[in-house]
């Protein structure tokens, strides 16, 4: 498998070289809004320690990341009054991976409401910030 490249987009977000709308961070993990959300409240959870995807990740990193995925899943469910939460994680291009730093998609789902197709269109920054505030309030509540 190709080696991890720390200059990927999420590596740059971690270093603060690219802006992100963060909803949560701790010593090991960062969660921020996806710029091209498949539904309002679409969050990406990433470990700070770089790995290309789940295939080369340390088990210890996974053990620290999954509780944050759960925390964010509960927060987006509450913040968006969702019926369910979709968690997705892709490994290598054949599986749909486009950014090569391990990440988990956390997406609130509502009965009968399909996910938006991947349009490549960026969401308005003000909308992302407003959605992030809802999630942060749920995390604090």
* Token couple for 51: 């790995």
* Cβ proximity to ligand 5GP, 136 vs 141, nearer residue: 136
Contact residues toward ligand 5GP (CB under 6 A) are 9, 18, 20, 32-36, 90, 96-99
Residue 90 CB, shortest distance to ligand 5GP, in Å, is 4
Kindly name the residue from 101, 103, 105, 118 that is annotated as catalytic: 103
Residue 72 CB, shortest distance to ligand 5GP, in Å, is 14
DSSP 8-state secondary structure symbol assigned to residue 103: -
Helices (H), the chain: 9-15, 59-79, 125-140
Residue 105 CB, shortest distance to ligand 5GP, in Å, is 6
Sheet of 104-109: strands edge to edge? Answer: 22-25, 29-33, 43-47, 104-109, 84-88
* Cβ proximity to ligand 5GP, 4 vs 90, nearer residue: 90
Active site residue 28: no
Interacting residues of 90 by C-beta distance below 8 A, sequence separation 6+: 53, 96, 97
When CB distances to ligand 5GP are compared, the closest residue is 36
Could you give the residue numbers annotated as active site? 103
């Amino acid at each position: 498998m190709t080696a991890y490249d720390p200059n990927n987009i999420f590596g740059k977000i971690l270093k603060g070289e690219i802006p992100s709308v963060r909803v949560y961070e701790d010593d090991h993990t960062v969660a921020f809004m996806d710029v091209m959300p498949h539904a309002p409240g679409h969050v990406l959870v990433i470990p700070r320690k770089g790995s290309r995807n789940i295939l080369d990740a340390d088990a210890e990193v996974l053990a620290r990341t999954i509780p944050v995925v759960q925390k964010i899943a509960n927060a987006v469910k509450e913040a968006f009054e969702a019926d369910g939460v979709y968690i997705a994680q892709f490994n290598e291009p054949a599986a749909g991976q486009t950014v090569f730093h391990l990440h988990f998609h956390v997406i609130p789902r509502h009965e009968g409401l399909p996910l938006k197709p991947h349009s490549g269109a960026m969401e308005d920054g003000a909308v992302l910030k407003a959605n992030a505030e809802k999630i942060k309030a749920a995390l604090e509540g």
